[in-house]
Amino acid sequence: MPTNIECSLPDITVGDRDHSLIEWILEEIPQRERFPTAVMLDQELARARIIPASEVPASVVTLGSHFFYREHETGIMRAGTLTIAGVLPGFACHGESSISLLTLLGVALLGLCEGQLISLHAPEGRVCMVSVLKVLAQPRRR
């Protein structure tokens, strides 16, 4: 199955705690019911460098991170929080800035560090580029 993320992919880093949680989420989705974003998330985890959560640099987007990112085609800068809200019961949403891990944007941002850029194919066929400008907080690093 083709990925929606372009071929020249930046290196990504994922903490072991996030990796375990995401693997568990993916295991709960039966293979026959996997939707494209879940397949892409699985592909991203397969290429990620997995390290202890305590060693993840403060500049890396992790689950729960609050950060600024730029949508390059519009030049718009936004604040975001990578979340699993809507994926697991009991996890709160952080309002309009919440970016679900199971969206194309969420998959693309996971594991990126400040200054990294990634391009992805939007559902309507256009190529979008996003970059992480600044990670403000990373609560799952501890």
pLDDT tens, residue by residue, 101-114: 888 899 999 999 99
Residue-wise pLDDT for 44-72, tens only, equals: 999 999 999 999 999 999 999 999 999 98
Residue 99 and residue 82 in contact, taking contact as beta carbons nearer than 8 Å:
yes
Could you tell me the CA-to-CA distances from 55 to 41, 49, 64, 85, 129 in Å, in that order?
22, 12, 16, 25, 28
Whether 67 maps to a domain, the answer reads yes
Query: Taking each helix axis from N to C terminus, what angle separates 36-47 and 16-27, rounded to the nearest 10 degrees?
Result: 150
| Count of the separate structural domains present in the chain | 1
Contact indicator for 105, 118 with CB cutoff of 8 Å: no
pLDDT of residue 134: 97
pLDDT of residue 139: 80
Mean pLDDT of 35-50: 88
Higher pLDDT, 86 or 114: 114
- Residue 5 covered by a domain: no
35 or 65, greater pLDDT: 65
Read off the pLDDT band of 86 (50, 70, 90). Answer: low
Measure the CA dihedral 113/109/47/114, to 10°.
Answer: -10
Residue 47 within a domain: yes
Quick check: is 90 in a domain?
yes
Is 69 inside a domain boundary?
Answer: yes
Q: In terms of residue numbers, what domain contains 20? A: 13-141
**CA-based nearest residue to 8, from 120, 110, 113, 111:** 120
E strands, 58-138, where?
66-71, 76-83, 98-100, 117-121, 127-137
Q: What is the CATH number of the domain that holds 41?
A: 3.10.50.30
Region 6-33: mean pLDDT is 83
Specify the pLDDT at position 30: 72
Mean pLDDT, the chain, rounded, equals 83
- Does some domain include residue 4? no
Tokens of 1: 């199955």
Confidence (pLDDT) at 110: 95
